[in-house]
A = this chain, B = another copy of it.
Amino acid sequence: METQKNKKEMFYPHVSVDCVLLGTNEDKLCVLLVERQVAGSDEKHYKLPGSLIYESEDLDTAAYRVLNEATGLKRVALKQFRSFGSPARTKNKEDVQWLENASKMKISRIVTVAYLALCKIGKKTTMDEKSDTLIWAPVNELPHLPFDHKEIIEAARQEIRDWVDREPGIVFDYLPPKFTAYQLRRIFEIVYDKEVDVRNFRKKMSTMEYIVQTDETETGVNHRAARYFRFDRIKYNKLHSNFNKI
């Protein structure tokens, strides 16, 4: 079956990974975009962080490299969710030209493997030298993007919900070690894009043994101080190991 019939000439697609790094900005779901230089244009142009894969690099490894280059983060849960390989991806000459300049390679076709993560928005400040080339764009107000990056982001947006359903633990990659019930609830509201009842949410929290109350509370707020919670990863892993599902 691997025989290539109708072979006209040697055909070598390129393979890349693209990362959809999602975060929230107060009240909107946002995606991290990186600036790209477009010859002969003063406007800022953006794209998803991504890279062609290296020769001896696994797909997951490439994705973590891209994540780290873009954000400085290393230990965030990153999930492969779909590959995009339409020949039409390279139909825009401008996109292809930019990519050929950047990669110093002749590009005819590129298949990309897309990855997804929930990612702390504030961390970009730890990457000072890069921070002016990164933006968090609300997924509903995306700038012009090359290739099919909008489609990839849209797919990621669907995917994140299923992922949080199956692995609620990933949202704690996103939160600080101590967090309030409000912060946690907002993540769910933003990811699912719908309101969550406060009381029902707290009830659910109290059934999740891996969310534990601390004695600490907020300080310096001009209303009743909220209690801090923390995430117990040990308990979480015990409850969510595949071992229990079989």
Alpha-carbon distance between A103 and B7 when the two chains are bound, in angstroms: 10
Residues 1 to 29 of chain A near chain B (Cβ within 8 Å): 1-4, 6-8, 10-16
Instruction: List B contacts of A108 (CB < 8 A).
Output: 55
Q: How many copies of the shown chain assemble into the complex?
A: 2
Binds B, one of A44-52, A179-187, A210-218: A44-52
Query: Taking the complex as formed, is A117 at the interface, i.e. its CB lies under 8 A from any CB of chain B?
Result: no
Q: How far is the CB of A44 from the nearest CB of chain B, in Å?
A: 16
Instruction: List B contacts of A50 (CB < 8 A).
Output: 1-2
- Size bracket of the A interface: 35 or more
Nearest neighbor of A89 in chain B, beta-carbon distance: B58
Query: Taking the complex as formed, is A83 at the interface, i.e. its CB lies under 8 A from any CB of chain B?
Result: yes
Picked from B54, B70, B109, the residue with its CB within 8 Å of the CB of A55 is B109
Alpha-carbon distance between A103 and B1 when the two chains are bound, in angstroms: 9
Query: Taking the complex as formed, is A69 at the interface, i.e. its CB lies under 8 A from any CB of chain B?
Result: yes
Instruction: Please state if A1 and B51 are interface contacts (CB–CB under 8 Å).
Output: yes
Query: Taking the complex as formed, is A38 at the interface, i.e. its CB lies under 8 A from any CB of chain B?
Result: no
Alpha-carbon distance between A14 and B13 when the two chains are bound, in angstroms: 7
Query: Taking the complex as formed, is A102 at the interface, i.e. its CB lies under 8 A from any CB of chain B?
Result: yes
Picked from B14, B49, B56, B99, the residue with its CB within 8 Å of the CB of A87 is B56
B-contacting residues of A (Cβ < 8 Å)?
A: 1-4, 6-8, 10-16, 34, 47, 49-59, 66, 69-70, 80, 82-88, 99, 102-105, 108-109, 111, 113
Report 15 cross-chain contacts, Cβ distance below 8 Å, ordered by A residue.
A1-B49, A2-B16, A2-B50, A2-B52, A3-B102, A4-B104, A7-B104, A10-B105, A11-B54, A11-B55, A12-B14, A13-B53, A15-B111, A58-B87, A83-B113
